[in-house]
Amino acid sequence: MNSFTNPSEQGCMAEVVTRIRADANIGRLLQDAGKLKAQDMERVLKLQQKENLRFGEAALKLGLVSEADVRQALSQQFEYPNISAADAKLAPDLIAATDPYGKEAETLRSLRSALLLRWFHEGRKTLAVGSARAEDGASYLAANLAVLFAQMGRKVLLIDANMRQQRQHRIFNLGNGVGLSDVLAERVPSMQVHTIKPFQTLAVLPAGSPPPNPAELLARPAFGALLAGLETTYDIILIDTAPAQLSSDFQLVTARAGGMLLAARRNVSRLAALADLKEKIIFSGAEVVGAVVLN
């Protein structure tokens, strides 16, 4: 069959076909999410054809959906997992999941890029995240970075090794049943992690049963063996550690990980405490990968 279209016309036709398919996908996703009804689809398509709009633009103009609804559908179409604040059963602190287009999430994406270039590009897979004080935001930082790496399609495991002030199970709305302490104490036959929806490549290992001896558990060879085994399964492992003001647990974790990212709060954290923490990390044979000042 002969074609009478020139390359330019063929390119335009291909663009139109691609746009039609994309709009159809957006419409289906919005309908599947319960944002549009079957009769709404017809109204949107008529306006779309009349005014040469994209499907989402037409649906917005008719007042049938919100901008958040369209962004959510686009996120699904481009396999960029996040969850609307209305549907989230996650802690408000998890802005990378619930407000991925905000300024704060964008700043954290810059940090993610820096870590990929500064730490993970040389084959390293594990990084500890810690702080000098409990109020400095290490748990918040670790949780959001875990989501951001999962949004890239990386297979990520977030471990809550802060067995003194367990936090990650609350951030991700998980039950704090079996976790790291139970694995290290050999109280369970195998490790069980929680896969976080809709982030199918993100898993969380909670701290587990509050133990009387966190430091002793983390000092066991089993902890190093556990991390070595997990590195064969996951692309990135982030470990939330206890703050330095509480204990020396962070040194045991950081020594295993090889490096720590420090969290600090603007107008709250003290330089003297951060300097002392840096010295202790270096003394443990690990590296200070960087410091992040949070608002």
Are the CB atoms for 160 and 179 separated by under 8 Å?
yes
Give the pLDDT of residue 260: 98
Give the pLDDT of residue 75: 65
Are the CB atoms for 182 and 211 separated by under 8 Å?
no
Give the phi and the psi of residue 216 in degrees, each rounded to 5: -65, -35
- CA distance linking residue 124 with residue 194, whole number of Å: 23
Give the pLDDT of residue 2: 44
Domains of the chain plus CATH, in order, are 7-77 (no CATH), 95-294 (3.40.50.300)
Give the three-class secondary structure for 157: strand
Beta-sheet pairing, 199-205 with 194-196: antiparallel
Give the pLDDT of residue 20: 40
- Which alpha helices (H) appear in the chain, and where do they start and end? 7-32, 38-51, 55-61, 67-77, 95-98, 103-118, 138-151, 168-171, 180-184, 214-219, 221-230, 249-257, 271-283
**Burial class of residue 261 in the structure, from the number of CB atoms within 10 Å of its CB (0-12 exposed, 13-18 middle, 19+ buried):** buried
Q: Which residue from 147, 135, 208 is spatially nearest to 172, judged by alpha carbons? A: 147
Beta-sheet pairing, 236-240 with 126-131: parallel
**Burial class of residue 145 in the structure, from the number of CB atoms within 10 Å of its CB (0-12 exposed, 13-18 middle, 19+ buried):** buried
Consecutive H or E run containing 289? strand 287-294
Give the pLDDT of residue 38: 84
Q: Which amino acid is at 219?
A: A
- CA distance linking residue 285 with residue 283, whole number of Å: 5
Q: What is the pLDDT along the chain (295 residues), one digit of tens a residue?
A: 444 455 555 454 444 434 444 454 788 878 887 888 888 988 998 898 899 988 889 999 999 988 777 776 776 676 666 776 566 688 888 999 988 889 999 999 999 999 999 999 988 999 999 999 999 999 999 999 999 999 999 999 999 999 999 999 999 999 878 999 999 999 998 898 999 988 889 999 999 999 999 999 999 999 999 999 999 999 999 999 999 998 999 999 999 999 999 999 999 899 999 999 999 999 999 999 999 999 8
- CA distance linking residue 95 with residue 48, whole number of Å: 33
